[in-house]
Amino acid sequence: MFFTEEFKQILKQAKNVFVLTGAGISKESGLDTFRDVDGYWAKYNPMELASLEGFFDNPHLVWLWYLERRAKANAASPNAGHLALAELENLFPLFDLFTQNVDRLHHRAGNKNIYELHGNIFENHCLTCGLPYFEDIDIEIAIPHCNSCGGLIRPSVVWFGEELPADILSLSFTKAQNCDLFLAIGTSAEVYPAAQLPYNARNHGAYVVEINPNETSFTKFANISFRESSNIILPEIVKLIKDLKKYD
């Protein structure tokens, strides 16, 4: 793998690293993306399965889909890209990983400083009172309801038309504006407000790296863009950083 001298120097000098991941990093773990030609939204209507309106219209269908995705995420294993990010966290003084993914593979890979912009697929809460719901769900028996107020139980993911968690979103913009190295990995750069983060980082002086097999709307604004899968390029970047530090 060829890396430019400029890129090597950036890696050598970086102290504050911000990572933004999207569904692409989990593709090599066997989990579908959303916006690829063979992704979820090519197969399903997002407003039926990932919106409050769709949930009210047919909670049984929505729960079927989310329980299926939960089972797939649970069966999947972190790939080399996930594992490389866990190593990267230990190579820099400051490291923050903000993910649009709900599969928790970053947690299982070993990253610690993780912020979930879209929630996660393994937790549930009451639509009415907001209390978490910890019981097993079998929708063939019944749609789950809150033990406290009787409200409908929903997956703890952010749906279309809903706001991202305000505290995590605010923190992401603050940290993006203060990092010196930004990695945008496997994200389509189409889902706002998270898609604004690499632009914010670049505008505040960060060196922005894009890792994505597909060109995105952000590609031309990146300092450097790798047209490789993250499970290939990230282990190479980890190896490069270790070599640079060895001879520093």
The answer to whether 118 is a known catalytic residue is: yes
Predicted confidence (pLDDT) per residue in 222-245, tens digit: 999 999 999 999 999 999 999 998
Indicate the pTM of the whole model.
Answer: 0.93
Angle at 195 between CA 233 and CA 7, to 5 degrees: 35
Would you identify the CATH topology of the domain 32-75+124-157? SIR2/SIRT2 'Small Domain' (3.30.1600)
For the cut 90, the answer to whether the pLDDT of residue 109 exceeds it is: yes
What is the domain class of 1-29+78-118+164-248 according to CATH? alpha beta
With CA atoms as reference, report the closest residue to 9 among 223, 236, 246, 244: 244
Q: What is the pLDDT confidence band of residue 147, given thresholds at 50, 70 and 90?
A: very high
| Parts of the chain belonging to CATH 3.30.1600.10 | 32-75+124-157
Q: Are 238 and 86 in contact (CB under 8 A)?
A: no
Annotated active-site residue in 82, 106, 118, 125: 118
- All CATH 3.40.50.1220 domain ranges in the chain, comma separated: 1-29+78-118+164-248
Query: Residue 174 corresponds to which tokens in the numbers above?
Result: 């603050």
Q: What is the pLDDT of residues 20-30, one digit of tens each?
A: 999 999 999 99
* Residues in a beta bridge with 20: 98, 184
Q: How does pLDDT run across 154-192, given as a tens digit for each residue?
A: 999 999 899 999 999 999 999 999 999 999 999 988 888
